[in-house]
A and B are shown apart, each in its own frame.
Chain A
Amino acid sequence: MRVPYSWLKSYVDVDLQPEELGEKLTMAGLAVDSIERVGADTTNVVVGLVKEMKRHPEADHLWVVHVDTGEGKIRQVITGAQNLTPGVRVPVALPGATLPGGEKIAETRFRGVVSEGMLCSAQELGLAEDRAEEEEGILILEGEPPLGTDIRAVVGLGEVVFNLDITPNRPDCLSMIGVAREVAALTGAKLKLPPVDVKEYGGNINDRLKIRVDAPDLCLRYAARVLTKIRVAPSPGWLKRRLLAAGMRPINNIVDVTNYVMLETGQPLHAFDYTRLAGQEIIVRRARPGENLITLDGVERKLSPEMLVIADGEQATGLAGIMGGLLSEITNETSTVMLESACFYNISVRRTARQLGIRSEASLRFEKGVDPNGVLFALERACHLIEELGAGEVVEGIIDIYPNPVSPWEVKISPVRIRNLIGAQVSDDFIRSSLQRLGLEIVGDEEHSLTVRVPTFRPDLRQEADFVEEVARLYGFTEIPATAMEGVLSLGHKPRALQIEDKVKEVLRAAGLDETQTYSFVHPGSVDKLRLAPDDPRRRLIRLLLPLSEDQSVLRTTLLPSLLEVAALNQRRKTGPVNIFEVNRVYWPKELPLKELPEMPRHVGVVLAGPRGESSWQGKAADNDFYRLKGILEALLEAFRVEGEFVAATLPTYHPGRQAALSVAGEEVATLGELHPAVAEAFGLSGRVYALELNLERLIPKMNLAPRYRPWPRFPGVERDLAFLVPADTPAKSVTAVLKEAGGPTLSELKLFDLYSGEQVPPGYKSLAYSFVFRASDHTLTEEEIEPVLAAIIKAAEDQLGARVRR
């Protein structure tokens, strides 16, 4: 909401510096976004008189205009504007001039013709909002300002304008008077309402106009006046200047008055060309099926039956509260006007405006809520102004359809509770005077309570809490002390799942992985890119009703696509080795379409693409491989003291021979592997890529956060190394199992230290070298004790695995 300071001052005596008043408004809840000084930086723009104009010899749409700027010589200026006639006075930017925003004007040539300056539109002077170019014309100055006068003095440049950010609970402040009422409450000054007296010129409105409201549920009140002897003309300068400063374009005196009064009172008004109303009647009704309306902006709108229209005897002629129709628009020929002041139901206006994609100053105000009891004040104010401008005469009588009047309501409040909720020593007197300054009436003043009557322009004041805010903001939020909370000392608790999540991230960072944060929504095709089986439950995606794009249209059931996309992006941008992880939720519907909230388990995803780390001058970092990936998972299990078992897996996402699943206490919690080349390719990844996904939610109950010390053995172990030749397809796990079994209790450690195939190993075999540590808990083992155990181990390996000891 743009509030020109000089306009505001018409309703309240306030003499503060703009910054000072801005601060007061902001601190009272009317946030000042900015304080503008319209066109204050404009220089060298002066008043000029158009003497003569002719077409540009080379370009039809350009004019060569001769202007007198009072310098004793005539300047030649080129313009593309089509609204000039000889004899009008216009702003002329001389060469060397600066326009708002810093644009500099110099002498230029247009197709060979010199232009000694530029003629300016309202927009170029910073007086109006941006508009399409074809609507632009040169600003025609009112009266006869002396030639050569600085334009700032003529059109009110330098006017201070407050840009207010009005919160949705304060529709009353979408008006100059509303803001002035706040200023009055804040400064103690008195609010002065503008005159609304109307001289009636006889006749009877009821002879001229019939109004019927067929949809009283959508139209709370409908009032109208008829004005005759209308003289449509440009508005006087003061009116134009105020509209421009408030961000609206002047059109003609009648339309300008309706806009002016809307800005002044917050009540939107609309003027209809009376003679264009078929049957001289108005019906406020829902649109008929298939009904169309061409609105003022020239667009043909398809209406639907839940939309409220203003119709004449034949057809819709306006969209209630949003925009008038082209047919009944005020034109230069208009001689009689019907002026509408009404209150439409906010939700209906919002829905219609949104459905048709129209936002107007009127609809904005109706959507937020208009005071039905302010309807007549605005109507009378507009009639008063039209008469004052000598632009028309008011026919006797008002039609006012208001079947269910809204009355002020009363709220009982407790000053003690208000004081306690604010937490400051706010006196009863202060509470009383604050309410009165806001225009509220105290109708009951008892021992422990006040009864306040709330005028209908403050729909936000319904219960005591609302008054706490009013008192607090007038008291000043800054004045309220900051007080430490009292009561029982309590310890903040972080739930176990979050403690674990934090620790998991810590472990993964320590493993050298960078943490990512990716969107929870993905492209539905991402499950195809992963080559998920047709019956894979992760194909059951939750779809958004109205996604921003297909890329973000379903909730993810796995973290992998997001991580793979991050990996691909970083590969493309060559940002270095990609070793990343994320801990976030995935979304698994219990049924589709969703009837209840989905399962949202926390997952851990890891993707390794490229080397393990940065290379240094000492050499390149080793490449990632399956065992590094598996090692990360093993490290994670160890950190939480979880025993897991890796079992074979057959997921199409991974390399058929390089994947596994992790199962803990019989439940699968993770899958891992080298990405299938088709999957890597689908995501645009190059090289071998490794990925794992862990369902942390399933693992959490099995995790142990409390370490427990166990003493290490007191007697030294005896070490022996043995290498076995086993058939190449024997899994290491079965070899280990056989060796452990045969080693019995004296075998305290068993570790693979070498895997070898090649020279000296027969084809179809591999060599696995293990180091054994034998130990007893009560003495140091002797050679004689170890020999039989070793023999048993070798025998078991030979018998059960077909192994041979490699000497």
Chain B
Amino acid sequence: MEEKLHALAQAAKEAVRAAKSLEELDGVRIRFLGRKGELTQILRSMKELPPAERPRLGQLANRVRDELEAELAERAENLKRLLEECRLEKERLDTTLPGVRPTLGHKHPLTWVLDEIKDIFLRLGFDVVEEPEVEYDYYNFEALNIPKDHPARDMQDTFYITEEILLRTHTSPFQARTLERMAPEVPVRVICPGRCYRRDPADATHSPMFYQTEILAVDKNISFAHLKWILITFVREMFGKNREVRFRPSFFPFTEPSAEVDISCVVCGGKGCSLCKGTGWLEILGSGMVHPRELEIAGYDPRKVSGFAAGMGPDRIAMLKYGIDDIRLFYENDLRFLRQF
């Protein structure tokens, strides 16, 4: 009996080792541990043994059974792992094949820039307002200190619809409209983005329609020094912390003093290149202190409050920021262009 058990244990071990699949292994389990299994039968025949041998041989038989079960389990585990490894190996992909991308829509480059400008000024406490693109001559010119026949009207060729109604040539009418609405309240801090129109045939640097964004602040004791701070802060946020900014005197009919704002060239950094015509500077903003007459027209007392205004061209900013050399690309909408943003 004892030898029989030992031989059985040996045979079972070999059978477990020889099993090549989970099915074969299951066959081994049935052969030895099944209801009619070899070990089962031995265990069943225990009761026929002399009582003195029963405990010892019973113990042995149980041990053989436990060991076999453990080996079966271990082998099953190994086989499972091996089979899985085998399957995974077969499932190997060529990961150098391109991914399958979701279709994402693209934001127009002008929208990127407009959003960024709005965002910066919102953080600086400016309210965003929208004003009409089809505008009265009065707000576009008269209220801005540009009477009919003023030489400054030379600078802008205007799309008129009737004698009194036109497509705004700049966002500046918003100054007059805002001041008229707010007077005599202070502080005023607003930004107005939008489309503007001039009778310039389209070429690489001109477009009959373009965007402008204008800011306006009116309060007690506002000075040119404040204008400088706001615009330097804006430019560095928009074009990077190391951007040099320079203010130089210029002329706009509705500001006095007026300043043109230049930034160090985005291409050469100030050394001089073809983009900046060798000067190292790029014109980016027009600005100035709100003309006292404009404040007066709106109903403010220019001896008590003052303000500043600045206007910028998102088209130009986008061209400089993204290295675009032809303004027409914005409005042509070739998808090969739009999908780069």
Cβ–Cβ contact B225 & A424, under 8 A:
yes
Query: Which residue in B223, B330, B331 is a CB contact (below 8 Å) of A421?
Result: B223
Residues 253-309 (chain B) with a chain A CB within 8 angstroms: 256-260, 277-278, 289, 291-293, 303, 306
A545 touches B105 (CB 8 A): no
Determine which of A468, A481, A555, A595 lies in contact with B256 in the assembled complex, contact meaning CB atoms within 8 Å. Answer: A468
Q: Tell me, in angstroms, the Cα distance from A489 to B187 when the chains sit together.
A: 10
With an 8 A cutoff between CB atoms, is A367 at the interface? yes
Q: A489–B189 Cα gap in the complex (Å)?
A: 11
- Please tell me if the beta carbons of A618 and B225 are within 8 angstroms of each other in the complex: no
Contact (Cβ within 8 A) A466 B333? no
Q: Does A132 contact B (CB under 8 A)?
A: no
The answer to whether A168 touches B224 (Cβ under 8 A) is no
> What is the size, in residues, of chain B's interface with A at 8 Å between Cβ atoms?
91
Q: Is the CB of A514 within 8 A of B249?
A: no
Quick one: closest A residue to B223, CB to CB? A423
Among candidates A33, A502, A618, residue contacting B100 with C-beta atoms closer than 8 Å: A618
A421-B306, A487-B187, A492-B128 as given contacts; A170 in contact with B105, CB under 8 Å: no
| B103 pairs with A579, CB closer than 8 A | yes
Q: Determine whether the beta carbon of B126 is less than 8 Å from that of A492.
A: yes
Expressed in whole angstroms, the minimum distance between the Cβ of A230 and any Cβ of chain B is 37
Q: Which residues of B contact A518 (CB under 8 A)?
A: 331, 333
With A423-B223, A468-B256: A514-B106 Cβ-Cβ less than 8 Å: yes
Chain B residues with Cβ below 8 Å from A546 are 159-160, 199
B195 near A520 (CB under 8 angstroms)? Answer: yes
- 1/0 per residue, CB under 8 A from B, across A478-514: the answer is 1011111111111111110110001001001111111
Q: Is the CB of B134 within 8 A of A555?
A: yes
Is the CB of A597 closer than 8 A to any CB of chain B?
yes
Using Cβ atoms and an 8 Å threshold, which residues of chain A touch B223? 420-423, 483
A712 at the interface (CB under 8 A from B): no
Q: Does A600 lie at the interface of the complex (its beta carbon under 8 Å from any beta carbon of B)?
A: yes
Q: Is residue B73 contacting chain A, with contact meaning CB distance below 8 A?
A: no
Give the chain B neighbours of A28 by CB distance below 8 A: 249
Residue interface mask A564-581, B partner, CB < 8 A = 1: 001001100101101111
User: CA–CA, A579 to B105, complex, Å?
Assistant: 8
CB-CB < 8 A to A569: which residues of B? 332-334
| One of B34-42, B49-57, B62-70, B228-236 contacting the partner | B228-236
* B327 to A: closest C-beta gap in Å: 11
Closest to B120 in A: A492
Decide: A420 near B221, CB < 8 A? Known: A469-B249, A515-B338. yes
- B161-172 vs A, CB cutoff 8 Å, 1 = contact: the mask equals 110010100000
The answer to whether B159 touches A511 (Cβ under 8 A) is no
A215 to chain B, nearest CB (A): 17
Contact A169 B251 (CB under 8 A): yes
> Is A598's beta carbon under 8 Å from chain B?
yes
Residue of B250, B256, B258 contacting most chain A CB atoms (<10 Å)? B256
Considering only residues 58-109 of chain B, those with a C-beta below 8 Å from chain A are 97-98, 100-108
Task: Give A585 to B168 CA distance when docked, in angstroms.
Answer: 14
A410 CA to B166 CA in the complex, in Å?
38
State which residues 585-618 of A face B: CB under 8 Å: 585, 587, 593-595, 597-598, 600, 612-614, 616-618
Give the interface centre of A417, A570, A595 by most chain B CB atoms within 10 Å.
A570
Task: List residues 182-234 of chain B with CB under 8 A from any CB of chain A.
Answer: 187, 189, 191, 195, 197, 199, 201, 208-209, 217, 219-226, 228-230, 232
Q: Is the CB of A509 within 8 A of B105?
A: yes
With A519-B208, A544-B167 as known contacts, state yes or no: A495 contacts B130, CB within 8 Å. yes
* B289 cross-chain contacts in A, Cβ below 8 A: 421, 465, 468
Whole-angstrom distance from the CB of A543 to the nearest CB of chain B? Answer: 7
In the complex, which residues 741-795 of chain A have their Cβ closer than 8 Å to any Cβ of chain B?
none
Docked pose: A417 CA to B224 CA in angstroms: 12
B110: A residues at CB distance < 8 A = 517
8 Å CB contacts to B: which residues of A538-562? 542-548, 552, 555
Residues of chain A within 8 A (CB-CB) of B161 are: 542-545, 594
A1-B100 Cα distance, complex, nearest whole Å: 60
A70 at interface, CB cutoff 8 A: no
Contacts of A485 in B (CB 8 A): 217, 219, 222, 226, 229-230
Give the residues in chain A near B165, CB-CB below 8 Å: 594, 597
Interface centre among B134, B167, B220, by most A CB within 10 Å? B134
Q: Which of A26, A170, A573 contacts B248 (CB 8 A)?
A: A26
Contact between chains at A31 and B130 (CB < 8 Å): no
Chain B 325-341 per-residue mask, 1 if CB under 8 angstroms from chain A, else 0? 00000111111101100
Interface residues of A in 11-54 (CB under 8 A from B): 26-29, 31, 33-34
Q: Indicate if A464 sits at the interface (CB-CB under 8 A).
A: yes
Per the 8 Å Cβ criterion, residues 163-178 of A in contact with B are 167-170
A502: chain B residues at CB < 8 Å are 115
B229 contacts across to A, CB distance below 8 A: 482-485
Known: A167-B251, A489-B125. A482 touches B225 (CB 8 A): yes
Complexed CA–CA distance, A543 and B160 (Å): 9
Q: Is the CB of A480 within 8 A of B224?
A: yes
Please name the residue on chain B nearest to A168 by beta carbon: B151
Interface residue from A29, A423, A547, A616 paired with B226 (Cβ < 8 Å): A423
Give the Cβ gap from A595 to chain B, nearest Cβ, in Å. Answer: 8
Instruction: Report the separation of the CA atoms of residues A618 and B100 in the bound assembly, to the nearest whole angstrom.
Output: 8
Is there an interface contact between B108 and A477, defined as CB atoms closer than 8 Å?
no
Q: Is the CB of B199 within 8 A of A614?
A: no
Say whether A472 faces chain B, with CB atoms less than 8 Å apart.
yes
Q: A614's contact among B101, B220, B303, by CB below 8 Å, is which?
A: B101
Q: Is the CB–CB distance between B106 and A594 below 8 Å?
A: no
Q: Closest CB-CB distance, A581 to chain B, in whole Å?
A: 8
For the complex, is B29 an interface residue (Cβ under 8 Å from A)?
no
CB neighbours of B127 from chain A (8 A): 492-494
CA of A645 to CA of B121, assembled, Å: 40
A453–chain B nearest beta-carbon distance, Å: 20
Of listed A511, A545, A581, residue having the most chain B CB within 10 A: A545
Asked whether, in the complex, the Cβ of B336 is within 8 Å of the Cβ of A575, the reply is: yes
Is A516 within 8 A of B108, CB to CB?
yes
Q: Are B105 and A513 in contact (CB under 8 A)?
A: yes
Closest Cβ–Cβ distance, residue A262 to chain B (whole Å): 19
Question: Given A481-B225, A515-B111, do A600 and B125 touch, yes or no (CB 8 Å)?
Answer: no
Q: How far is the CA of A158 from the CA of B152 in the complex (A)?
A: 36
- Contact in complex: B335, A576 (CB < 8 Å): yes
User: How far, in angstroms, from A576 to B121 measured CA to CA in the complex?
Assistant: 37
B3 within 8 A of A: no
A347 at the interface (CB under 8 A from B): yes
Q: Which residue of B lies closest to A347 (CB)?
A: B149
With A465-B292, A472-B249 in contact, do A597 and B330 touch (Cβ < 8 Å)?
Answer: no
Q: Are B334 and A575 in contact (CB under 8 A)?
A: yes
Check A804 for interface membership: any CB of B closer than 8 A.
no
Q: Can you list 6 A-B pairs, Cβ within 8 angstroms, ordered by A?
A: A168-B151, A168-B155, A468-B256, A477-B228, A482-B229, A492-B127
Extra A-B contacts (6), CB below 8 Å, given A511-B105, A547-B159: A420-B306, A465-B292, A480-B224, A485-B230, A584-B195, A595-B162
Nearest 4 A-B pairs (CB), nearest first? A423-B225, A423-B223, A29-B249, A509-B105
